[in-house]
Amino acid sequence: MKSMIHYIKIPLLSVLLLLTFTACNKEDEFREKAIQVVINGYNGGADELEVNIDTTRYDKTALGGKFLMKPSAMAGFNVVYTYRAAQLNADVTIKEPASGKVIFTKPLPATGTLAYYNFVYLDGKILDVPAPAANPAVSKLIFYVHHTASDAPFDMFLYRMDNTTGQEFREYLAKNVKPGTWINVDYTPSAAFNSKNILSGASIYFTKSGTVDQWAFEETEGRSKFSTFGLSFPIEGDAGLVQAYFIAQGRFDLERIRLFHNPDRLW
């Protein structure tokens, strides 16, 4: 009789453990999780674009249309998406809400807390954003200048003036390049542009090729320069970075947006 009682207790304990394990798995499956979804780029189309994450629509009813990508404008989308599943199995789509035409579709990562996408929409198609291989000796900067009014070559350089002495500083990024192509730069900061403090007061100038004072775009200063503030340019000690920028004319001046996502570089 003793041996029979002992025999029954063992499978009963196993069943209880199995039920506990299953309950824990179910609890984990239905626990709310979150993922940050970031999209940076440009909507070069004539229509507003709408982002969908799985079945959630970020349309004109969401915060008064805050998340819509305006036509001919920089696009910055950043939300925290919550879900209840052991793994995420969903897509991010961008579409024209009027026609329903899907422009862009990418899967969300099954695990993790961040999903990042570059999105540059020009001439009815998605522009491929290259990602150069990192070089531990230098930083790789790539620029795309969208300017359809002219394809004349231009120079681009960092510029600042010392407010005390009036001395001007220039550091060329590229010479004799044209809009509508990716411009690749191997970059190491010089002493004149090697700190966050210095860069906060610097600009990138675009001038006609071979000049320093003839504005490249519409012969207008505001259309041919922008501040380096917020671009997270490499500083002293930085190397091996890969950073990309998309540049286009805005409503009033030259605008830019940083592609790729690096939350640790926010200057």
Residues 66 and 146 in one domain: no
Kindly state whether residue 247 falls inside one of the protein's structural domains. yes
* Residue 6, pLDDT above cutoff 70: no
* Residue 29, pLDDT above cutoff 60: no
Kindly state whether residue 89 falls inside one of the protein's structural domains. yes
Structure letter (DSSP) for residue 251? S
Residues 172 and 111 in one domain: no
Kindly state whether residue 16 falls inside one of the protein's structural domains. no
* Residue 2, pLDDT above cutoff 50: no
* Residue 10, pLDDT above cutoff 50: no
% of the chain beyond a pLDDT of 90: 82
* Residue 14, pLDDT above cutoff 70: no
Residues 116 and 176 in one domain: no
Give the pLDDT score at 145.
Answer: 99
Q: Across the chain, what does the average pLDDT equal?
A: 90
- How many domains does the chain divide into? 2
Give the pLDDT score at 30.
Answer: 62
Residues 253 and 161 in one domain: yes
Last residue of one domain, picked from the residues 91, 126, 161: 126
Taking the C-alpha atoms of residue 133 and residue 148, their distance in angstroms, rounded to an integer, is 29
* Residues β-bridged to residue 50: 95
Residues 91 and 192 in one domain: no
Q: pLDDT higher for 28 or 206? A: 206
Which residues neighbour 140 within 8 Å (Cβ) at sequence distance 6 or greater?
132, 133, 134, 184, 185, 186, 187, 241, 242, 243
The three-state secondary structure class of 10 is helix
Taking the C-alpha atoms of residue 135 and residue 241, their distance in angstroms, rounded to an integer, is 8
Taking the C-alpha atoms of residue 66 and residue 50, their distance in angstroms, rounded to an integer, is 10
Last residue of one domain, picked from the residues 126, 156, 179: 126
Kindly state whether residue 7 falls inside one of the protein's structural domains. no
Do residues 63 and 51 touch, judged by C-beta distance below 8 A? no
Residues 63 and 86 in one domain: yes
Which residues neighbour 89 within 8 Å (Cβ) at sequence distance 6 or greater?
110
Kindly state whether residue 190 falls inside one of the protein's structural domains. yes
Give the pLDDT score at 28.
Answer: 54
Kindly state whether residue 19 falls inside one of the protein's structural domains. no
Task: Encode pLDDT of 182-215 as tens digits.
Answer: 999 999 999 999 999 999 999 999 999 999 999 9
Residues 143 and 255 in one domain: yes
> Domain of 158: which CATH number?
2.60.40
Structural domain harbouring 233:
139-259
Taking the C-alpha atoms of residue 183 and residue 31, their distance in angstroms, rounded to an integer, is 46
Residues 48 and 71 in one domain: yes
- Residue (of 229, 232, 226, 266) closest to 250 by Cα position: 226
Confidence of residue 77 (pLDDT cuts 50, 70, 90): very high
Kindly state whether residue 167 falls inside one of the protein's structural domains. yes
* Residue 41, pLDDT above cutoff 90: yes
Average pLDDT over residues 75-90: 90
Residues 39 and 93 in one domain: yes
Give the pLDDT score at 9.
Answer: 44
Task: Encode pLDDT of 230-252 as tens digits.
Answer: 999 999 999 999 999 999 999 99
Give the pLDDT score at 142.
Answer: 98
What residue type is assigned to position 83 of the chain?
Answer: Y
Give the pLDDT score at 85.
Answer: 81
Residues 177 and 67 in one domain: no
* Residue 26, pLDDT above cutoff 80: no
Residues 120 and 188 in one domain: no
Do residues 182 and 130 touch, judged by C-beta distance below 8 A? yes
